[in-house]
Amino acid sequence: MKILQIVPSISLIYGGPSQMVLGLAPALAREGVEVTILTTDSNGDSGQKPLDVPLNSPVKQDGYEIIYFRCAPFRRYKFSLDLLLWLKRHANEFDIAHIHALFSPVSSAAATVCRLQKLPYILRPLGTLDPADLQKKKQLKQLYVAILERRNLAGAAAIHFTSEQEAKVSARFGVSTPDLVIPLGVIPPVAEKGEVHLQLGIPNDVPLVLFMSRIDPKKGLNLLIPALEKLLADGFNFHFVLAGTNPQDPIYEQKIILQIQNSLLRSHSTITGFVRGELKASLLQAADLFVLPSYYENFGIAVAEAMVAGTPVVISDQVHIWQQVRDSESGWVGATEVESLVELLREALQNPQECQRRGLNAQKYALQYFSWNAIAQRTIQAYQELIRSFP
């Protein structure tokens, strides 16, 4: 079986949802599938240099290959005419295409090319069909749907959702394309637990509360910061780590940083910026609590990463794996309200043994359900069924 994975960018700057193909591809390759990733050299929307990668020729790694194409002529929107021309020439060499992103010109055009070339394709919307997300640039998106995306959705072999909740709430624009619900995968981090406390100058007996995600209005930091301030005022002792960035909205990122620096939290916080590799792994393992009170989150890859590290999570019921977290007793789930978050954090910080128990539950659940090997097997089965049923 020969599979195409098409994604506008796999740069770290765009976060986990875009990068998931780098977890799926080697897992599929280990199962004997031939995988080719088509992507661009895009590396940010605010003047960053493109990725320093070879263009237009396969780069082989971990049993699969990536072909990068120059992001042009519309760099801001991650478009690549070269990618589309390559796809048109080579589509008949593949069995199915898995396209990651909606409302992205290169993904939308790739779906159109696949349809014209009679190549079955799956669309993964990355949360863009959530009613809350559709309110952003609403009129532009309505026009985009009318011109391109409704036809792409109607012609897809399936829509790949990463949780039942995402599938349930997503808009379909009158289209009845089959759903394919398969979660994202995570890789267990490997790091020394004590190093982060030493590096940040935090005593080992002070609980570490971690936020690790894109610094974006939808992530609920306007709830988390006042909730943490309330806990400090009530006498709780903890250290807060804000790990993340937002190169697409640096003004909002700076606003959050200034808010922390001008509050009670200043002497109880560390702001790391974007983290990766060993530091990311160390933070996930060292944290006593991982917090993500998002207003909407189609899956919550950062939550799954914390879980597989053995860290209990405190999340809102708008993070779409909240039901799995609650059912497996992997953490605490509440409403998108400051008082709700205060109560959850208070309960967790007052009960370190319960935190430990829920952290172990989280790790057990994540290893079973969010391992890339298990997800690859489910994905291959779905590919085979969709290929068989393609007219």
Cα 150 to its chain centre, rounded Å, is 24
Whether the predicted pLDDT of 285 surpasses 70: yes
Give residue 48's pLDDT band: very low, low, confident or very high (50, 70, 90). Answer: confident
Average pLDDT over every residue of 95-115: 95
Q: What was the pLDDT predicted at 46?
A: 65
* Eight-state DSSP code of residue 145: I
> Is 50 or 263 the better-scoring residue by pLDDT?
263
Whether the predicted pLDDT of 14 surpasses 90: no
pLDDT tens track for 363-388: 999 999 999 998 999 999 999 999 99
Whether the predicted pLDDT of 298 surpasses 90: no
pLDDT tens track for 202-245: 888 899 999 999 999 999 999 999 999 999 999 999 999 999 99
Average pLDDT over every residue of 350-363: 97
Whether the predicted pLDDT of 74 surpasses 80: no
Checking DSSP bridges between strand 239-243 and strand 269-273, what pairing results, if any? parallel
Average pLDDT over every residue of 281-288: 94
pLDDT tens track for 331-355: 999 999 999 999 999 999 999 999 9
Bridge partners of residue 61, in order along the sequence? 64
> Is 17 or 174 the better-scoring residue by pLDDT?
174
Domain range annotation of the chain: 2-185+371-389, 194-369
Residue 338 near residue 316, CB atoms below 8 Å: no
Rounded-to-integer distance, Cα 279 and Cα 189, Å: 10
Question: Tell me, which fold does domain 2-185+371-389 have in CATH?
Answer: Rossmann fold (3.40.50)
Q: What was the pLDDT predicted at 232?
A: 97
Give 336-377 as a DSSP string: SSHHHHHHHHHHHHH-HHHHHHHHHHHHHHHHHHSBHHHHHH
| 2-185+371-389 and 194-369 agree in CATH topology | yes
Q: What was the pLDDT predicted at 251?
A: 94
Least confident range from 52-61, 134-143, 188-197: namely 188-197
Average pLDDT over every residue of 171-181: 94
The token pair that represents 263 in the structure block: 């509050």
pLDDT tens track for 242-272: 999 988 789 999 999 999 999 999 999 999 9
The dotted CATH code for 194-369 is 3.40.50.2000
Q: What was the pLDDT predicted at 187?
A: 85
